[in-house]
């Protein structure tokens, strides 16, 4: 069975500071890994995904994530936070990329302080 | 550019009432999904439809039924609403079953008293 842990249900950063959102997973097979973002009162949008092609994955809006197999982690980073980055972020894992097998993490709410 | 449209956006029900949540997508996607989102629990899959004419249970199907009316529409029905079904419900779609959920609706906020 797969599972996803996101350390920190709420993270606050100052505008211009580094954003680091943590995601650890458990999976019996090499997984597909994803980050989604949810802005207030909206559905989820895909930020980026890892499908074994490269360990460092670049996504939209300057976000990137690095797959570290030894640490079973897929942390999301952005060098400089912008006010518009305030949202909830979800990490998700799938063993095979089939939509019905996705498992979402509990989410991390990012606040950006002026 | 409608994408995935959900109706209604908000609903309040009394325990025991029934209702149907509607979802339609205009991207010609084959696969559609219904999730519920609860605080601290992320999204959990209720039902999915890999293609027109097929539906399957997800992680939390109890108390729900679905209908894949055609390729565009996928509805979720609560036959006898319970307070535990108070949640935000999201519909999503993907091009094929072998693809991550790509497009999400804006959600239906459902309260059951």
Average pLDDT, chain B: 93
Q: Is the pLDDT of residue B25 over 70?
A: yes
pLDDT digits (tens, 9 = 90+) for A88-98: 999 999 888 78
- Name the band, by pLDDT with cuts 50, 70 and 90, for residue B1: low
Residues in chain B within 8 Å Cβ distance of A90:
42-43
- Name the band, by pLDDT with cuts 50, 70 and 90, for residue B74: very high
Q: Cα–Cα–Cα angle for B101, B102, B107, nearest 5°?
A: 80
Report, as an integer, the average pLDDT of A49-72: 90
Report, as an integer, the average pLDDT of A33-50: 92
Whether A40 and chain B come into contact, CB under 8 Å, resolves to no
Residues in chain B within 8 Å Cβ distance of A41:
106-107
Q: Which residues contact B109 (CB under 8 A, 6 or more apart)?
A: B9, B10, B11, B88
Report, as an integer, the average pLDDT of A2-19: 95
| pLDDT value of residue A101 | 85
Q: Which residues contact A83 (CB under 8 A, 6 or more apart)?
A: A15, A112, A114
- Cα–Cα dist B5/B17, whole Å: 24
| pLDDT value of residue B98 | 78
Whether A31 and chain B come into contact, CB under 8 Å, resolves to no
The reply to whether residue A44 touches residue B90, judged by beta carbons under 8 angstroms, is: yes
| pLDDT value of residue B20 | 97
Residues in chain B within 8 Å Cβ distance of A96:
98
- Cα–Cα dist B23/A39, whole Å: 20
| pLDDT value of residue A36 | 95
Q: Is the pLDDT of residue B56 over 90?
A: yes
């Amino acid at each position: 069975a797969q599972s996803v842990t996101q350390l920190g249900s709420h993270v606050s950063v100052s505008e211009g500071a580094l954003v680091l959102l943590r995601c650890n997973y458990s999976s019996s097979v090499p997984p597909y890994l994803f980050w989604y973002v949810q802005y207030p009162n909206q559905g989820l949008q895909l930020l980026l995904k890892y499908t074994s092609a490269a360990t460092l994955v670049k996504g939209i809006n300057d976000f990137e994530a690095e797959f570290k197999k030894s640490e079973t982690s897929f942390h999301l980073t952005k060098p400089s936070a912008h006010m518009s980055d305030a949202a909830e972020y979800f990490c998700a894992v799938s063993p095979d990329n089939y939509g019905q097998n996705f498992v979402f993490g509990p989410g991390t709410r990012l606040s950006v302080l002026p | 550019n409608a994408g995935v449209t959900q109706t209604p956006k908000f609903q309040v029900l009394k325990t025991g009432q029934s209702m149907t949540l509607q979802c339609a997508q205009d991207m010609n996607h084959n696969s559609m999904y219904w999730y519920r989102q609860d605080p601290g629990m992320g999204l959990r899959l209720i039902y999915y439809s890999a293609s027109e004419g097929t539906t399957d249970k997800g992680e939390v199907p109890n108390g729900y039924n679905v209908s894949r009316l055609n390729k565009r529409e996928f509805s979720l029905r609560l036959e006898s609403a319970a307070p535990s079904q108070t949640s935000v419900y999201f519909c999503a779609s993907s091009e094929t079953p072998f693809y991550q959920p790509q497009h999400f609706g804006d959600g239906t906020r459902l309260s059951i008293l």
